[in-house]
Amino acid sequence: MRAFSVALLGSAVLMGCGSSDDDSDKPTEPLPDEQLVATIRCSNVSIDQADKICSTNRGVAWGHLDENQVCYGAYCFEDHSPAPQSPGLTRFPEGHLIPVYMHKEVDPRFVRAMDRAEAIVGYPMFERHGVIELEIGNVFEIDYSGLPSDWGFIWSQGTTPPDCSSGTVSRYPNSISVTSYLANRNQGLVRNEPGIFTWINIDGDEQKAGEGCTVIASDDVTLHELGHALGMLNHFPGFGVGPAFDANAERVLRTMYHGQNPEGQPFDALYLPK
């Protein structure tokens, strides 16, 4: 069992996504190129309060890794270096496959979300390990020792907390505690903190949902949660502001993971595929 700072878990919470308007039909305006760059930056690494493009889930993303291997942020350098003063694009490197598991069962929404993400970026992103079953009664003592990797994503159906949301990305099931990644010196994401996995939780308890809440995730909400796990931390028009995942979100993901935009790429030098 690891000890975590109360301040860390309480001050940087990534709230659950989706509500009564998960699948809003209100169209969003396509992002012009100059706004696309600002949107990628504020979603991926930090909010510029002057532009108001993104809504805050994580605020400033980069933090530091302490001596107990706890990352105080969404991203920390694995060698304990201080957070970069002017971070560039922060993402998983191409070819660095992310281990992925499905808790208890294969939900077709999980598969469709991963297939769509890989189709958008144009190359494989996930090492798919199939179904696992873990004892999650005490989330602080989940035994991951039987898994073939010591980090990765775990899809889980029915483990979104009862707070009028249909999806969360967190370090535990039934939780909104933030998840963090360790990065190499190029700002490429390489793994979770030791002993931690990224839980992508979809669907809440309809019996506990508030009036007007939608707690069953659509395909777009499911892909939206995967987007969070891949570094689209903050919401923007077309990604949680209005639709859960529309053409704007697709373009952000495609640009972030384009081969001409390696990890660490300065945002003002991003290649913008159409």
Say how far apart CA 151 and CA 94 lie, in whole Å: 17
- Give the pLDDT confidence of 210-258 residue by residue, as tens digits: 777 788 999 999 999 999 999 999 999 999 999 999 999 999 999 999 9
Q: Is the pLDDT score of 14 beyond 60? A: no
pLDDT band at 98 (very low <50, low <70, confident <90, very high): very high
Q: Quick count: other Cβ atoms within 10 Å of Cβ 253?
A: 25
Q: Are 9 and 178 in contact (CB under 8 A)?
A: yes
- Give the pLDDT confidence of 130-182 residue by residue, as tens digits: 999 999 999 999 999 999 999 999 999 999 987 778 899 999 999 988 899 99
Q: Is the pLDDT score of 93 beyond 90? A: yes
Q: Is the pLDDT score of 3 beyond 60? A: no
- Give the pLDDT confidence of 27-60 residue by residue, as tens digits: 789 999 989 999 999 999 987 655 678 987 776 7
Instruction: Give the containing element (helix H, strand E) for 224.
Output: helix 219-229
Q: Are 91 and 265 in contact (CB under 8 A)?
A: no
Say how far apart CA 100 and CA 84 lie, in whole Å: 29
Say how far apart CA 131 and CA 154 lie, in whole Å: 9
In percent, the amount of the chain with pLDDT more than 70 equals: 88
Q: Is the pLDDT score of 196 beyond 70? A: yes
Say how far apart CA 62 and CA 82 lie, in whole Å: 9
